Amino acid sequence: MEAMSPLERVLRGIALTLVVVFFMFPIVWILLMSFQTNETILRIPPSVVFTPTLDNYAALITGKLQTAAGTLDIAFMRNLGNSVFLSVVSVAVALLLGVPAAYAFARHKFKGSEDIAFTLLSFRFAPPLLVLLPLTQYFQWLGLSNTYFGLIWVYQLICLPLILWIVRGYFEDISADVEYAYRIAGHSWFATFRKIALPLAGPGIAAAGLLAFIFAWNNFVFALVLASADKQPVTVGALAFVTASGIQYGQIAAAIVLSITPTLALALYAQRYLVEGLSLGAVKG
Amino acid sequence: MTTLQLKNIVKRYKSQTVLDDLSLDVADGERLVLFGPSGAGKTVLLRLVAGVIDPDEGRVLIGGEDMTEVDAEHRGVGMAFQNFALFPHMNAFDNIASALTARRSSKEAIAAGVGKVAKLLKIDHVLSHHPKALSNGQKQRTALARALVGSPPLLLLDDPLRNVDAKLRFEMRLELPRLLAAQGATVIYVTQDYKEAMALGDRIAVMFEGRLRQIGTPADIYNTPAEIEIARLFGDPTINLLDVVPQRGPDGVFVEVSGVRLRLPGFGAEIVGKSCVLGIRPESIAFTEASTPGAIPVKVEAETPLNEKTVTLTLTARGREILVSRPAGTPGPVAGPAHLSVNNRATLLFDKESGRLMRPSEIASKRNGEAA
C-alpha cells in the first residue's frame, strides 16, 4: 500500500470506526441486554451501566422461564439442538446432491441442462409463502409434516440451488485440460472427479456449504408452518418468549446470542473462503 | 505397421466444421509434425486421438484397433498440453507419477520410473515442488515427463514449446529429437513454428481450416509447397510472391519481372496467358553486376542483419518488394540501385486462382529425386 499522510490515516480511521460501530451496535446491544433483567432493559433513559446477571442464560439452559405470572417451561435448548441438526443434515444432503450435479452442469452440456439448472435456481426467486400453502397440504397427505425428514426436504429448496450455482462456477473455472490430462494418464472419470475436480473446487464448496448453512439456520417460515414445538429450530422457538405476562427481552437477547454463536463462529473461521468464494463466483461471467 | 489411422474424421461445433473429412496414417516410430496456423484444427485433432473429444463421423484406429468409442483412459497414449495442464494441488513428483498410479504399479516401481524420466529431463531436483513454485521451463519439462513416464506407444505433443521463452525453446528444439528417439514412440507433434516443424518432423502434415493440405518430408514441403499459403508459412524471410503472366518466347515460356525476362524451364504452352504467382525464395536471389544477362534492376530500401544471414528489402521500378537473403559477412549493396539475379531452377509457379502449385512433369520428378 502507498504511504498515507497522517491526516488521511486519521480520516480513514474515523470512517472505518463509524462503519464498524453502525454495523456492530445491534450485536453489542443484544449482548449487553442478555446480561440484564427486564427491569434494567426497560429503564428510561437506557444506560450501559448495570449489574450483570446470568439469570437469562440460566433460564434458557434449565428450560424454566420465571415470569411475573409464574414459571413457564420452554424448550430453547431443544430448539437449538433442532437448528443444529436440521442445518447440518440439510447442508450435508445438499452437498451430496448438489456437488455432483454442479459438476455435471459445468462439464457436460446436455440437452436441456441450462433449463434444468435455471429451474433449480428459480426456487430461490419465488417467495416461500408462494409454495407454503400447497406444501403444507401435500405434507399432511404424505405424512411428512412435523418430521425432520420433511423439514430437511424443504430445506433443500434453500440449500441446493445455492450450492449448485456457486460450486458450478468453481468447476467451470478449472481448466478442462487439467482433467483431460488426468483421464489420459489412465484414470476413470470418477477418479478424475474425486482427485482433481473436488480438491481444486474445495474452497468454493466450503464457501457454498457455509452460506447454505447460514441460510438454513436463519430460515423461519418453513419451520414455523411445517413443524410443531418439538421439531422447531431456534428462529421459531424464540416466539415462546412472547408470554402472557409480557415480552421477556432479557431471555430473547440471551437466546439470540446463543443462536448466532454457531454461525458467527463458523463465519469467522471460514471468512477467507467465504469472501474468496463469493467474489470468484461473481467475477466468473 | 501403422500406429495411428484416422479415417474420414469429421468434427463440427454448432454449424462450424472444424475437421472436414480428414484421413491420416502415421507409421510405427514415425515423428509426424502437424503444422498449421491457429484455428486450423490441430489441437482438436490431437484431442480426438487422445479420446477426450469424440468425432462426429469417422474412425480412429490406434495400433490397428478401432478406438473410436474407447474412453481416454484406456487408449494408452501420452499427451503433453500447450498450457502444461499440471495438477496445481500435487507436487511435480505426483504430477509425473499420475500416469503410473492408474496402473497400480508398486511404490518402488513408480519412484524408479519417475526418477528416471525426471533425470532425463533434468528436473530431478524440483520433484517436491508444486507447479506454482516451478519456472515455466520446469513446468514444461514436468508436463513432458508426465507424458513420457508411462512409455506410451503413441505420444501426442500439443505445441509444448509454445509457452516457454525463446532461449529455452531453442534448447528444447535441439534436445527433443534425441529424447523422442530414445523413447522409440510414435509421436504426433503440433506446432505453429515452421522451424520446429522442420527440425522435429520425419514428415510434416500441413493443415488449414480443418483439412490436410499437404503431407511430406520437410524438404518436400519446403521445396515444393503444394499451395501459396504453405509456401508463405515455410521460410524466413517469407518467400517473394510476384503476380506474373507467362508468355511464349523463342526459347520457351517466360515471365517478365521489371522488364526482364525470366525463363521458366520445363513449362509448356498450356500456361501461357494464365494469371500466375511466381514464388522466389529470398535465398535463391543474389546481388549481381548490371552487366549480367537477365539482371533485374532494383533499388535497395533497407537492410536487416540477422545473426547468420543478412536480409535486404529491395524495390523494383514498379514498386514491387523483393527480399534478398545472403549469408552474413558476404558483401552486398547497402543503399541505392542494385541488380538481382534469380536462380530460375528454384522458382515456384502457382495458379493465382486456385493457389495451387503448377509443376511441369519432368521438373517435378527431378526435384523429388533430389530430395529423397
Locate the chain B residue with the closest alpha carbon to A186.
B73
Range scoring the smallest mean pLDDT among A25-39, B74-88, B348-362: B348-362
Q: Is A29 helix (H, G, I), strand (E, B) or coil?
A: helix
Locate the chain A residue with the closest alpha carbon to B103.
A186
C-alpha cell at B358: 503448377
Contacts of B70 in chain A (CB under 8 A): none
Question: Chain-wide mean pLDDT for chain B?
Answer: 86
Helix then strand then coil, in percent of chain A rounded to 5, is 75, 5, 20
- Contact between B156 and A177 under an 8 Å Cβ cutoff? The reply is no
Q: What percent of chain B has pLDDT over 90?
A: 20
Instruction: Count CA within 13 A, CB hemisphere, residue A276.
Output: 12
Query: How far is the C-alpha of B56 from the C-alpha of B308, rounded, in Å?
Result: 48
Judgement on whether residues B221 and B237 belong to the same structural domain of the protein: no
Residue B335's closest CA among B287, B303, B300? B300
Cβ contact, residue pair B85, A178, below 8 Å: yes
Cβ contact, residue pair A185, B75, below 8 Å: no
Cβ contact, residue pair A180, B89, below 8 Å: no
Instruction: State how far Cα A123 lies from the chain centre.
Output: 17
CATH code for the domain in which residue B12 is found: 3.40.50.300
B299: Cβ contacts below 8 Å, ≥ 6 apart: B314, B315, B336, B337, B338
Q: What is the pLDDT confidence band of residue A101, given thresholds at 50, 70 and 90?
A: very high
Q: Which of B194, B226, B258 is the last residue of a domain?
A: B226
Query: What are the pLDDT digits (tens) for A130-165?
Result: 888 888 898 889 988 888 999 999 899 889 999 999
- For chain B, how many residues are written? 372
Locate the chain A residue with the closest alpha carbon to B52.
A180
Q: Which helix (H) or strand (E) holds A70?
A: strand A70-73
Closest partner CB to B87 (pick from A178, A189, A191): A178
| Total beta-carbon pairs less than 8 A apart between chain A and chain B | 64
Contacts of B67 in chain A (CB under 8 A): none
- Contact between A210 and A274 under an 8 Å Cβ cutoff? The reply is yes
Q: In this predicted structure, what is the pLDDT of residue A276?
A: 62
Q: Is A137 helix (H, G, I), strand (E, B) or coil?
A: helix
Q: In this predicted structure, what is the pLDDT of residue B184?
A: 82
Closest partner CB to B52 (pick from A183, A191, A199): A183
Judgement on whether residues B198 and B239 belong to the same structural domain of the protein: no
CA angle B135–B136–B138, rounded 5-degree value:
65
Residue B10's closest CA among B68, B66, B67? B68
Judgement on whether residues B120 and B259 belong to the same structural domain of the protein: no
What one-character DSSP code corresponds to residue A71? E
Residue A110 clears pLDDT 50, i.e. is over it: yes
Contacts of B110 in chain A (CB under 8 A): none
Judgement on whether residues B240 and B273 belong to the same structural domain of the protein: yes
- Contact between B200 and B179 under an 8 Å Cβ cutoff? The reply is no
Cβ contact, residue pair A187, B47, below 8 Å: no
Contacts of B50 in chain A (CB under 8 A): 180, 184
Closest partner CB to A182 (pick from B83, B88, B98): B98
Judgement on whether residues B164 and B259 belong to the same structural domain of the protein: no
Q: What is the pLDDT confidence band of residue B273, given thresholds at 50, 70 and 90?
A: confident
The torsion angles phi and psi of B13, rounded to 5 degrees, stand at -115, 115
Locate the chain B residue with the closest alpha carbon to A177.
B85
Query: What are the pLDDT digits (tens) for A2-46?
Result: 667 889 999 999 999 999 999 999 888 889 888 988 788 888 887
Contacts of B47 in chain A (CB under 8 A): 180
Judgement on whether residues B204 and B270 belong to the same structural domain of the protein: no
Contacts of B78 in chain A (CB under 8 A): 184
Q: In this predicted structure, what is the pLDDT of residue A113?
A: 84
Domain extent at residue B277:
233-371
Locate the chain A residue with the closest alpha carbon to B72.
A184
Q: In this predicted structure, what is the pLDDT of residue A275?
A: 66
Distance from the Cα of B177 to chain A's closest Cα (Å) equals 23
Across A258-263, average pLDDT: 86
Distance from the Cα of B230 to chain A's closest Cα (Å) equals 30
Judgement on whether residues B213 and B250 belong to the same structural domain of the protein: no
- Contact between B5 and B22 under an 8 Å Cβ cutoff? The reply is no
Across B157-162, average pLDDT: 86
Residue B130's closest CA among B88, B83, B82? B88
Q: Interface of chain B against chain A, CB under 8 Å?
A: 47, 50-52, 71-79, 81, 83, 85-89, 98-99, 101-103, 146, 150
Distance from the Cα of A29 to chain B's closest Cα (Å) equals 45
Closest partner CB to B73 (pick from A175, A186, A199): A186
Query: What are the pLDDT digits (tens) for B212-230?
Result: 999 999 999 999 999 999 9
Residue A95 clears pLDDT 90, i.e. is over it: yes
Residue A115 clears pLDDT 80, i.e. is over it: yes
Cβ contact, residue pair B88, A191, below 8 Å: no
Residue A245 clears pLDDT 80, i.e. is over it: no
Distance from the Cα of B33 to chain A's closest Cα (Å) equals 21
Domains of chain A and any CATH numbers:
6-73 (no CATH), 76-283 (1.10.3720.10)
Closest partner CB to A187 (pick from B73, B81, B88): B73
Judgement on whether residues B50 and B177 belong to the same structural domain of the protein: yes
Cβ contact, residue pair B102, A187, below 8 Å: yes
Q: Which helix (H) or strand (E) holds A7?
A: helix A6-33
Q: Is A35 helix (H, G, I), strand (E, B) or coil?
A: coil
Contacts of A199 in chain B (CB under 8 A): 89
Contacts of B52 in chain A (CB under 8 A): 180, 183-184
Q: Which of B226, B256, B288 is the last residue of a domain?
A: B226
CATH code for the domain in which residue B305 is found: 2.40.50.140
> In B93-123, which positions are buried (b, 16+ CB within 10 angstroms) versus exposed (e)?
bbbbbbbbbbeebeeeebeebbeebbebbeb
3-state secondary structure chain B: CEEEEEEEEEEEECCEEEEEEEEEEEECCCEEEEECCCCCCHHHHHHHHHCCCCCCEEEEEECCEECCCCCHHHCCEEEECCCCCCCCCCCHHHHHHHHHHCCCCCHHHHHHHHHHHHHHCCCHHHCCCCHHHCCHHHHHHHHHHHHHCCCCCEEEEECCCCCCCHHHHHHHHHHHHHHHHHHCCEEEEEECCHHHHHHHCCEEEEEECCEEEEEECHHHHHHCCCEHHHHHHCCCCCCEEEEECCEEECCEEEEEECCEEEECCCCCHHHCCCCEEEEECHHHEEEECCCCCCCEEEEEEEEEECCCEEEEEEEECCCCEEEEEEECCCCCCCCEEEEEEECCCCCEEEECCCCEEECCHHHHHHHHHHHC
Q: What is the pLDDT confidence band of residue A85, given thresholds at 50, 70 and 90?
A: very high
Residue B372 clears pLDDT 60, i.e. is over it: no
Q: Interface of chain A against chain B, CB under 8 Å?
A: 175, 177-178, 180-189, 191, 196, 199-200
Judgement on whether residues B19 and B120 belong to the same structural domain of the protein: yes
Look at B323 and A266; give whichever has higher pLDDT.
Answer: B323
**Residues facing B287 on adjacent strands:** B340
Write out the DSSP string of A221-275.
HHHHHH--GGG--HHHHGGGGEETTEE-HHHHHHHHHHHHHHHHHHHHHTHHHHH
C-alpha cell at B68: 473410436
- Contact between A203 and A193 under an 8 Å Cβ cutoff? The reply is no
Distance from the Cα of A117 to chain B's closest Cα (Å) equals 21
Q: In this predicted structure, what is the pLDDT of residue B1?
A: 57
Indicate the pairing of strand B309-316 with strand B296-305. antiparallel
Residue B307 clears pLDDT 70, i.e. is over it: yes
Q: In this predicted structure, what is the pLDDT of residue A42?
A: 82
Q: What percent of chain A has pLDDT over 90?
A: 26
Contacts of A186 in chain B (CB under 8 A): 73-74, 76, 99, 102-103, 150
Between helix B107-120 and helix B92-101 the angle, nearest 10°, is 120
Establish whether the linkage from the previous residue to B237 is cis, with ω within 30° of 0.
yes
- Contact between B371 and B223 under an 8 Å Cβ cutoff? The reply is yes
- Contact between B92 and B128 under an 8 Å Cβ cutoff? The reply is yes
Contacts of B89 in chain A (CB under 8 A): 199-200
Tally of domains within chain B: 2
ipTM of the complex: 0.81
Judgement on whether residues B287 and B350 belong to the same structural domain of the protein: yes
Look at A65 and A8; give whichever has higher pLDDT.
Answer: A8
Q: In this predicted structure, what is the pLDDT of residue A13?
A: 93
**What is the gyration radius of the CA atoms in chain B, in angstroms?**
24
Contacts of B99 in chain A (CB under 8 A): 185-186
Q: In this predicted structure, what is the pLDDT of residue B365?
A: 45
Query: How far is the C-alpha of B351 from the C-alpha of B182, rounded, in Å?
Result: 43
To which residue does cell 437506557 refer? A46
Q: Is A136 helix (H, G, I), strand (E, B) or coil?
A: helix
Closest partner CB to A185 (pick from B47, B89, B102): B102
Query: How far is the C-alpha of A236 from the C-alpha of A240, rounded, in Å?
Result: 8
Greatest distance between any 2 Cα atoms in chain B: 80
C-alpha cell at A285: 461471467
Q: In this predicted structure, what is the pLDDT of residue A67?
A: 66
Query: How far is the C-alpha of B92 from the C-alpha of B123, rounded, in Å?
Result: 9
Residue B40's closest CA among B246, B171, B190? B190
Q: What strands, in cross-sheet order, belong to the sheet with B348-351?
A: B240-244, B276-280, B348-351, B357-358
Contacts of A185 in chain B (CB under 8 A): 73, 98-99, 102, 146, 150
Query: How far is the C-alpha of B102 from the C-alpha of A186, rounded, in Å?
Result: 5
The torsion angles phi and psi of B246, rounded to 5 degrees, stand at -60, 145
Across B1-17, average pLDDT: 85
Q: In this predicted structure, what is the pLDDT of residue A279?
A: 54
Choose from B87, B151, B155 for mutation: most chain A CBs within 10 A. Answer: B87
Query: How far is the C-alpha of B272 from the C-alpha of B249, rounded, in Å?
Result: 10
- Contact between B61 and B69 under an 8 Å Cβ cutoff? The reply is no
Residue B57 clears pLDDT 60, i.e. is over it: yes
Distance from the Cα of B73 to chain A's closest Cα (Å) equals 4
Choose from B70, B73, B146 for mutation: most chain A CBs within 10 A. Answer: B73
Judgement on whether residues B215 and B292 belong to the same structural domain of the protein: no
To which residue does cell 509457452 refer? B163
Across A194-198, average pLDDT: 91
Judgement on whether residues B174 and B218 belong to the same structural domain of the protein: yes
User: In Å, what is the CA distance from A163 to each residue of A126, A169, A209, B240, B311?
Assistant: 17, 10, 7, 60, 62
Q: Which of B226, B257, B291 is the last residue of a domain?
A: B226
